[in-house]
Amino acid sequence: MNFQKNNKIGLFDSGVGGLSVFVEVKKLLPDMEYFFLADQAHVPYGRKTQKELQDLSARIVKFLLKSDIGILVVACNTATCYALDYLRQVFKIPIIGVVPALKPAAKLTKNNKIAVMSTPATAKSTYLKNLAKKFAKDKEVMLLGCKGLEDAVETLDRKTIKTLLDEYTKDVRDFGADTVVLGCTHYPFLKTEIKIRVGSGIQILDSGRAIAKRTSQLLKDREGRTKSKAIETFYTTGNPQKFSQIASQLLKYKVNSQFARI
Which active-site residues does the annotation give? Answer: 76, 184
Question: What distance in Å separates the CA atoms of residue 117 and residue 142, rounded to the nearest whole number?
Answer: 8
Residue 15 marked ligand-binding: no
**Does residue number 25 form part of the binding site for ligand DGL (CB under 6 A)?**
no
- To the nearest whole angstrom, how small is the minimum distance from the Cβ of residue 43 to ligand DGL? 5
Binding mask 77-116 for ligand DGL (x = CB under 6 A): xx--------------------------------------
Residue 186 marked ligand-binding: yes
Choose, by CB under 6 A, the member of 24, 33, 150, 206 that binds ligand DGL.
150
Binding mask 30-69 for ligand DGL (x = CB under 6 A): -------------xxxx-----------------------
**Does residue number 148 form part of the binding site for ligand DGL (CB under 6 A)?**
no
Question: What distance in Å separates the CA atoms of residue 37 and residue 34, rounded to the nearest whole number?
Answer: 10
Residue 163 marked ligand-binding: no
Question: What distance in Å separates the CA atoms of residue 226 and residue 219, rounded to the nearest whole number?
Answer: 13
Half-sphere exposure of 199 (CA within 13 A, CB side): 10
Residue 77 marked ligand-binding: yes
**Does residue number 125 form part of the binding site for ligand DGL (CB under 6 A)?**
no
Question: What distance in Å separates the CA atoms of residue 213 and residue 32, rounded to the nearest whole number?
Answer: 14
Choose, by CB under 6 A, the member of 22, 186, 240, 262 that binds ligand DGL.
186
- To the nearest whole angstrom, how small is the minimum distance from the Cβ of residue 6 to ligand DGL? 26
Question: Is 119 in contact with 145 (CB distance < 8 Å)?
Answer: yes
**Applying CB under 6 A, what is the total number of residues that bind ligand DGL?**
17
Choose, by CB under 6 A, the member of 14, 57, 169, 179 that binds ligand DGL.
14
Choose, by CB under 6 A, the member of 119, 169, 207, 236 that binds ligand DGL.
119
* Binding annotation: 13-14, 45-46, 77-78, 185-186
By CB under 6 A, name the binding residues for ligand DGL: 13-15, 17, 43-46, 76-78, 119, 122, 150, 184-186
